[in-house]
């Protein structure tokens, strides 16, 4: 089977976005004092960096080359809503992003003719993203009990930004938009 240049570019985008997300979460570890949150952020950061490695291995295994990518999902969010500063903003955006990644990887996996190596990587990512969605949602639910409307407002702002970003990526990479 063959992976074309457009799909290789998309896989490199996945790789760069996973790495970028892992580095952001790693930076958040340095800003918190809650031992449980430190553990969750560290684990999540490490898994995202490992996902970048898995995408790198996948790209090589299908005959492609990892290439430098400055354009990441996170950079596109910043263009639309600015840089998230607070832990609430970072984790709200992480939750929105992880939900999007999960839905998008499901779409990618269902595309006709997906290379078996790419399919295996997508399936592994889907299995691991469930854990990310779970712990971040739990944390956000706790914050919502304390801060109420602030959490709802941040999530709404980031959900709207995510749809704009995803719509643009859908055009660039030729995949069907999934709201």
Residue stretches of the chain with pLDDT short of 50:
none
Please tell me the predicted confidence (pLDDT) of residue 133.
Answer: 81
Domains and CATH numbers, the chain: 5-173 (1.20.1260.10)
Please tell me the predicted confidence (pLDDT) of residue 17.
Answer: 95
The C-alpha atoms of residue 30 and residue 96 are separated, in whole angstroms, by 22
For 33-79, what is each residue's pLDDT tens digit? 999 999 999 999 999 999 999 999 999 999 999 999 999 999 999 99
Please tell me the predicted confidence (pLDDT) of residue 152.
Answer: 95
Please tell me the predicted confidence (pLDDT) of residue 175.
Answer: 73
Residue 30 CB-density burial (10 A; 0-12 exposed, 13-18 middle, 19+ buried): exposed
110 in Cβ contact with 125 (< 8 Å): no
């Amino acid at each position: 089977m063959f992976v074309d240049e457009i799909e290789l570019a998309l896989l490199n985008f996945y790789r760069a976005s996973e790495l970028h997300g892992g580095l952001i979460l790693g930076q958040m570890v340095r800003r918190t004092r809650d031992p449980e949150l430190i553990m969750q952020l560290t684990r999540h950061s490490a898994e995202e960096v490992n996902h970048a490695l898995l995408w790198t291995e996948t790209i090589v295994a299908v005959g492609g080359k990892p290439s430098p990518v400055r354009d990441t999902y996170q950079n596109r969010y910043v263009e639309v809503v600015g840089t998230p500063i607070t832990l609430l903003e970072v984790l709200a955006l992480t939750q929105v992003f992880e939900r999007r990644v999960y839905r998008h990887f499901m779409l990618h996996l269902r595309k006709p003719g997906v290379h078996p190596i790419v399919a295996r990587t997508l399936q592994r990512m889907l299995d691991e993203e469930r854990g990310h969605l779970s712990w971040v949602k739990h944390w956000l639910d706790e914050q919502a009990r304390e801060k109420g409307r602030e959490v709802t407002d941040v999530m709404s702002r980031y959900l709207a930004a995510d749809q704009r970003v995803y719509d643009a990526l859908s055009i660039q990479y030729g995949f069907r938009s999934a709201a």
